[in-house]
Amino acid sequence: MQDHRPATPRARILMCAPEHFEVRYSINPWMHPDQWSSRRDELTGRSRDGWSMLRHTLERLGAAIELVPPQPALPDMVFTANAAVALDGTVLVASFRHAERQGETAHFRRAFEQLAARGLVRQVVDMPPGLCLEGAGDCVHDRGREMFFLGHGFRSDKAAAPLVAELFGEAVVPLELVDARFYHMDTCLNPLAGGEVMWVPCAFSAQGQGQLREIVGTDRLIEVPMEDAAKLACNSVNLDRDIVLAEASSRLKSMLAERGYQVHEVPIRSFGLSGGSAWCLVLRLDRPSLRGTATALLGAEAGSLAAAGD
């Protein structure tokens, strides 16, 4: 069969196979180890099949997938979004709040160093001691507005905002998360390629809701219906006009279709038992800022002129 995927990928994404994924502890309201253990074989099979279908869907949509090896004592390594904040080739490695996940950092850092050796990452930076920031789970980039939205209150520290701003050269808007179900920013806010932002209002403080309405504009905020928010529909992967998620109601699909987006559903609901979904299962390695894209284009143009001069 002929492969119609583009030679240049639409995105380069880091994933980790769910070989050791399970709910063995509880660090958010979604996690109930007893419920997992009572259906272990069934849920393990569903997780592996669903993850494979997610990978296949992303590859079909033009993404290139890089893999980090899973580790037996770290079941949540599958959620690679939490591994780092990545922009313009710079990777800021995560620092985790809970002891259950802190062992992931060294493995992810080693993976990023290997990616750097291959030229897929430009530099790898560590968080300073005593400061928590759980990667793209809490530090969500809005390329069109040239800013990060940083969630704090459960997992990440508001004090990380100046570090992110200085390192990446983008504005950072800290927003307090107040509903424990939406413990990471990526569970309740998702900037889309067209400038719209999917969100779950109850996840934010009144002040945060006001900030988002002011920054984004009420006409560009897409409020995710609670029936979808409860299935982590906001935790979706957006590649241009394609949105990949676990499940969406007809109402949410219509809302997105009206804005020009196509929804792709994949059977990854079992990861919701650990509080994660599509966004959590990927980390975009090649995410560009507008500034970075402009610099790359200028560099390419200069290279073309130099070649022409030769």
Residue 3 lies in a domain: no
Q: What 3-state DSSP class applies to 225?
A: coil
For residue 183, which amino acid is it?
A: Y
Q: How many domains are there within the chain?
A: 1
Sheet holding 189-191, edge to edge: 189-191, 197-199, 221-223
Residue 50 lies in a domain: yes
Looking at residue 185, its pLDDT comes to: 98
Q: Which tokens sit at 305? A: 């002129």
Say if CB 188 and CB 28 are below 8 A apart.
no
Q: What is the pTM of this model?
A: 0.92
Give CA–CA dist 155/177, Å, rounded.
10
Low-confidence ranges of the chain (pLDDT < 70): 1-7, 293-310
Residue 244 lies in a domain: yes
Residue 1 lies in a domain: no
Q: What is the DSSP string of 62-122?
A: TEEEEE----TT-GGGG-GGGGEEEETTEEEE-B-SSHHHHTHHHHHHHHHHHHHHTTS-S
- Those residues with Cβ within 8 angstroms of residue 236's Cβ, 6 or more apart along the chain or in another chain: 190, 198, 243, 244, 245, 277, 278, 279
Looking at residue 297, its pLDDT comes to: 39
Residue 303 lies in a domain: no
Q: Enumerate the active-site residues.
A: 184, 280
* Boundaries of domain holding 132: 11-289
Give CA–CA dist 51/78, Å, rounded.
9
Q: What is the pLDDT of residues 23-71, one digit of tens each?
A: 999 999 999 999 999 999 999 999 999 999 999 999 999 999 999 999 9
Looking at residue 291, its pLDDT comes to: 85
Say if CB 127 and CB 133 are below 8 A apart.
yes
Give CA–CA dist 307/49, Å, rounded.
48
Q: What 3-state DSSP class applies to 4?
A: coil
Residue 300 lies in a domain: no
Give CA–CA dist 154/138, Å, rounded.
10
Q: What is the CATH number of the domain that holds 232?
A: 3.75.10.10
Residue 301 lies in a domain: no
Q: What 3-state DSSP class applies to 302?
A: helix
Residue 184 lies in a domain: yes
